[in-house]
Chain A
Amino acid sequence: MALVRVISSDGAAFLVSQRLAKRSGKLKTEIETFRKSSDNSEAQPEIRIVTIRAEILRLVLQWLQQHQNDPVLPANQNEQDGRGDAEMGQSQWDRDFLAPMDLGIVMELILAANHLEVKGLLDITCKLVESKITGRTVDEIRTAFKLKSDFKGNEEEQTRLENRWCVEN
Chain B
Amino acid sequence: MSTYGEDEEGYNKYFIRSHGHPSSNSGNPVKGILKCPTDESKVMMPQATQTVRWSSELSVYFNPDSNSVDGCNRLLDLPSVAYNKIIAYLPPKTCLALRRVCLTTHSWITETLIDAKQITKWRKYRLKITGQGVQTFVTVVNMNLPITEFCLHNSRIGESIYTSEGHQQFLEVYGPITTFIYVERHSLFEAETEYTFFLHFHCLRFLQIFMATTFIPTGKQRTPYEIPPNIASSLTILIFSGIEESNGRQARKACQENIIKLIDSSKNLVHLRPPSWQRKYRGAACRIGCIVTYFGLYITYCHKWMQRLETSINAWLHRSTYAGNCCLLDMENFCQNYFYKHLHPQFCTSYGTLLQLGIELDVWFRNVHADELTWVYLRRRIDGWPFGEIADSFRFMNNIVSLVGTCSVLGYSFSSMINLKEIRIKFDGSLLLEQPYELQALEWKSLEKIDLTLVLRSKSTLSEDCVKQWNTTTSLLFSRERKNVKWLSLKLKADSKLLRNVAVDQCLYNAIDVDDVVLSFKWVTNLSISGWNLPNKAFLKLWTSLTKLECLSIDSCRKLGDYGFIGKKKRNQEFCAFSKLSGLRKLVLKGLDEMKVTEKLFISVISCMCLDELTIVGSAPQVTNQALKTLRQGKFGSSIVKFPLHTWVSKNISETDKVEIKNWFPSGV
B252 on the interface (CB 8 Å rule)? no
- Residues B8 and A7 in contact, CB atoms below 8 Å apart: yes
**A101→B105 CA distance, assembly (Å):** 23
B375 on the interface (CB 8 Å rule)? no
Within the complex, the shortest CB–CB distance from A169 to chain B, in Å, comes to: 5
B164 on the interface (CB 8 Å rule)? no
- Residues A114 and B75 in contact, CB atoms below 8 Å apart: no
Q: Which of B210-260 contact A (CB under 8 A)?
A: none
Q: Which of A146-167 contact B (CB under 8 A)?
A: 146-151, 155-156, 158-163, 165-167
B68 (CB) vs chain A CBs: closest residue: A104
Q: Which of A92-124 contact B (CB under 8 A)?
A: 93, 96-97, 99-108, 110-111, 114, 122-123
A10 on the interface (CB 8 Å rule)? yes
Residue interface mask B39-70, A partner, CB < 8 A = 1: 00000000000010011001111110010011
- The prevalent SS among residues of A at the interface is helix
Size of chain A's interface in residues, with CB distance under 8 A?
88
Size of chain B's interface in residues, with CB distance under 8 A?
89
B6 (CB) vs chain A CBs: closest residue: A15
- Residues B82 and A136 in contact, CB atoms below 8 Å apart: no
A31 on the interface (CB 8 Å rule)? no
B600 on the interface (CB 8 Å rule)? no
Contacts of B575 in A (CB 8 A): none
A138 on the interface (CB 8 Å rule)? yes
**A145→B75 CA distance, assembly (Å):** 7
- Residues A140 and B666 in contact, CB atoms below 8 Å apart: yes
Within the complex, the shortest CB–CB distance from B479 to chain A, in Å, comes to: 40
Partner of B2, one of A10, A68, A110, A145: A68
Beyond A10-B61, A55-B34, whether A150 also contacts B102 by CB under 8 A is yes
- Residues A114 and B2 in contact, CB atoms below 8 Å apart: no
B117 on the interface (CB 8 Å rule)? yes
A86 (CB) vs chain B CBs: closest residue: B89
- The prevalent SS among residues of B at the interface is mixed
Contacts of B32 in A (CB 8 A): 102
B25 (CB) vs chain A CBs: closest residue: A100
Contacts of A147 in B (CB 8 A): 73, 75-76, 101-102, 105
B11 on the interface (CB 8 Å rule)? yes
- Residues B86 and A141 in contact, CB atoms below 8 Å apart: no
Beyond A7-B8, A111-B77, A138-B101, whether A61 also contacts B71 by CB under 8 A is no
- Residues A136 and B94 in contact, CB atoms below 8 Å apart: yes
B97 on the interface (CB 8 Å rule)? yes
**A22→B90 CA distance, assembly (Å):** 31
Within the complex, the shortest CB–CB distance from A44 to chain B, in Å, comes to: 11
**A61→B30 CA distance, assembly (Å):** 17
Partner of B93, one of A3, A19, A145, A167: A167
- Residues A104 and B100 in contact, CB atoms below 8 Å apart: no
Within the complex, the shortest CB–CB distance from A114 to chain B, in Å, comes to: 5
A-B contact pairs, 18 of them (CB 8 A): A12-B8, A12-B13, A12-B60, A14-B5, A54-B60, A54-B62, A96-B21, A100-B29, A100-B30, A105-B71, A111-B82, A134-B90, A135-B669, A136-B669, A137-B669, A147-B75, A147-B76, A169-B126
Chain B residues within CB distance 8 Å of chain A:
2-8, 10-11, 13, 21-24, 29-34, 51, 54-55, 58-63, 66, 69-79, 81-82, 84-94, 96-103, 105-106, 112, 115, 117-118, 120-121, 125-128, 133-135, 139, 142-143, 145, 151, 641-642, 663, 666-669
Extra 18 A-B pairs, beta carbons < 8 Å, given A1-B2, A159-B100, A166-B127 = A12-B5, A13-B8, A15-B51, A61-B3, A105-B71, A126-B85, A129-B75, A133-B86, A134-B666, A137-B667, A140-B663, A142-B101, A145-B73, A145-B101, A158-B134, A166-B93, A167-B669, A169-B127
Chain A residues within CB distance 8 Å of chain B:
1, 3, 5, 7-17, 19-20, 53-55, 58-59, 61-62, 65-66, 68, 79-84, 86-87, 93, 96-97, 99-108, 110-111, 114, 122-123, 126-127, 129-130, 133-151, 155-156, 158-163, 165-169
